[in-house]
Amino acid sequence: MPPQEHTEEQQDAENTTSHTRVNPRVIKPYHGELVIAGLSGRYPESDNVTEFKDNLLNKINMVSVDSKRWDSEYWHVPPQMGALKNLDKFDAEFFGIHSKSAETLDPQLRLLLEVAYEAVVDAGESLASMKGTRTGVYIGVTGSEAEHAWMGRTNQYVLSGVPHTFFPNRLSFFFDLRGPSCAYDTACSTGIVTMEAALLHLRSGVVDQAIVGAVNLIMRPQTTRAFTAMNMLGGGACRTFDAAGDGFVRAETISACLLKKAECAKRIYCTVEACISNNDGWSTDGLVFPNTYAQEELMRDLYTNYKIDPTKIKYFECHGTGTPAGDPIETRAICSVICENRKDPLLIGSTKTNMGHSEVASGLSSLTKVIIAMHTRVIPPNLHFQTPHPNIPGLFDGRLKVVTEPTPWEGGLVALNSFGMGGSNGHIVLRSYDEKKLDDHPASEKPRLFVYSARTEDGLKNILKEAHKHSSDVEFHALCQISANAQLGSMPFRGATLLNAEKEFTEIQKVASKPRELWFVYSGMGSQWVGMGRSLMALDIFRDAIHECSDALKPFGIDLLNLIMNGTQDSLKTIIAPFICIVAVQLALTDLLFSMGIKPNGLVGHSLGEGSCAYADGCHTKRETMIAAYLRGQSVVESNVAPGRMAAVGRFTVEITLPYVHTPKN
């Protein structure tokens, strides 16, 4: 049997995780908004979404002529291809995969694991927050072009590293997800059809969130030769909508996103308004020929049933492969449905002109481009459009307009089309998320401590640099917060830096493999200073605790709140004032730490701090602790002990008459 493939986090949690269902889960349909909350990917000449954005907006042709995969002259295939930069890097240890298993893992699956994890983190989630959740995994994957290399090996790892069923299953295993885990293949429409499957499960209540991904790597020249024999590949570019369009260029993409319910999302890229699919059925033109009427029917079904006005579509991202048959058929259906009763030209484009056709992953490539447009409020331009295709009337009569330059855009509804060789069609409508960021957050310009954890020191340095670049972006810092406390085995480097501070401070350390114990130490007299706790009153939890402590002392004629906010050096020279102020601040700090999920392994208190220690341990209430602190100070005053003396109190019984009657709240 192969070795157990568990991460350290999963091994640590084995004793607390149970698959035994005590009560059946309640499945209820969901009628709220569904959103894309996280996004990541690898695209031609782009290691991430940011590089892809820069290449799109700067009109960089991501189709290259090189020998990254094979010698094109030897195989007599077109030399142009949209290729990923790197395929040879993989951190098997992080994903809990044995080195022997990693050697026979399909490169598509290696990259998919990385991209899916990045999408989860991009959504503000972590391994801990995803663990055990009802999350579905829906992955689009077609034939593995590396399969012939791996399947020739006779070892026990191949069958769990190459078959397509393990693409989603690996993700479910790594994250410990309990929803459906399925692989899909409808050729070039797979990305959108996979998205539809995830949305249907979210709507029906089967899952609470979903990872949707698609992969396409080009590893074998034989597949490219087959496309060449079918006259589908063109002369080095996807010249979509252009008269010179003679076919597409193959491209690679691995992309994933996290779908969530709007009220549960920490980040929202866009809202998914509707998504459906259909099939061409039988046609005289043949199996691989697209069908205008089926695509038109699909769009009419969506806009009618979901009550979306087609004239409200602000931009249409076409499938747009640049083939002589595909472009006219698709645009004819678009004009029939979307441009009906439309006054202004419909802006259209296709990301395939920028990067090539990533086939099974093309829908997610287009989705990434649309999200980039929504985020930047600029529609990326098409490439290679010079002369309108004579068989696309909409380009001549003003119904359609191809975006050829970076075009400012105010947001709204976007439609995305996708159809596959074999007749499966998909259509999705997205709405841009238009809520403005909180630029005027009260903490945006304040000095703040930013902490984070990472796998490597260089990775942590990059994150801290990004934090400084966006030092006033409180929402960005909040999104990073959950990843600041990752498990030590996965993220051994811890770092902290001060933002918006006069003095620069950054510190990075590699921590031990096991967590250190955390203790709360409560000090006694002498720890006070003028202004102690005043700046923390800006925090709701701290302020509420101080008010509660102040209310406990009002029957004694003590104005604690005034001492905290307006106390002077003279007022702290008395005995009672520092007694009650120290304890009140300790109790408020305890509430603040508890609210952040910081729980101690142990507690220790000295003198006054013993009472606060008892509060943190749950032995005393705030009211009881504050009254004890006050009476302790009052007893010192009444004892008239000489300054600097220490009083040792033996066992005795004392009866105290309080000026009020205590009635518990509960």
Q: Which of 164, 182, 188, 549 is catalytic?
A: 188
Of the chain, the end-to-end C-alpha distance in Å amounts to 58
- From residue 11, give the alpha-carbon distance in Å to each of 167, 174, 490: 22, 12, 12
Around Cβ 443, how many Cβ atoms within 10 Å? 15
Positive or negative torsion for Cα 518, 522, 527, 533: positive
Instruction: Give bridge partners of residue 468 from the DSSP assignment.
Output: none
Alpha carbon distances (Å) from 537 to 256, 300, 466, 540 = 42, 57, 29, 7
User: How far is Cα of residue 310 from the mean position of the Cα atoms in its chain?
Assistant: 30
The Cα–Cα gap between 133 and 420 comes to: 33
Nearest in space to 629 (alpha carbons), one of 648, 610, 656, 651? 610
Q: Which residues pair with 279 in a beta bridge?
A: 424
Q: Is 319 a catalytic residue?
A: yes
3-class secondary structure per residue, 500-549 = CCCCCCEEEEECCCCCCCCEEEECCCCCCCCCCCCHHHHCHHHHHHHHHH
Is 375 a catalytic site residue? Answer: no
Query: Any idea what DSSP says for residue 82?
Result: B
Burial of 645 (0-12, 13-18, 19+ CB in 10 A): exposed
DSSP 262: G
Catalytic, out of 164, 201, 357, 384? 357
In a 10 Å sphere around its CB, with 0-12 CB exposed, 13-18 middle and 19+ buried, how is residue 619 labelled? exposed
Give me the residue label for tokens 């979903």: 210
Sign of the Cα torsion 594, 598, 603, 606 reads negative
User: Encoding tokens for residue 394?
Assistant: 């909409």
Pairing outcome for strands 400-402 and 413-419: unpaired
Note the Cα 36 to chain centre separation in Å. 9
Check 319, 384, 389, 620 and give the catalytic one. 319
The gap from C-alpha 384 to its chain's centroid, in whole angstroms, comes to 34
Q: Is 31 a catalytic residue?
A: no
Is the CA virtual torsion 535, 540, 542, 546 positive or negative?
positive
- The torsion region of residue 59 among left (phi > 0), alpha (psi -120 to 50) and beta comes to left
Active site residues: 188, 319, 357
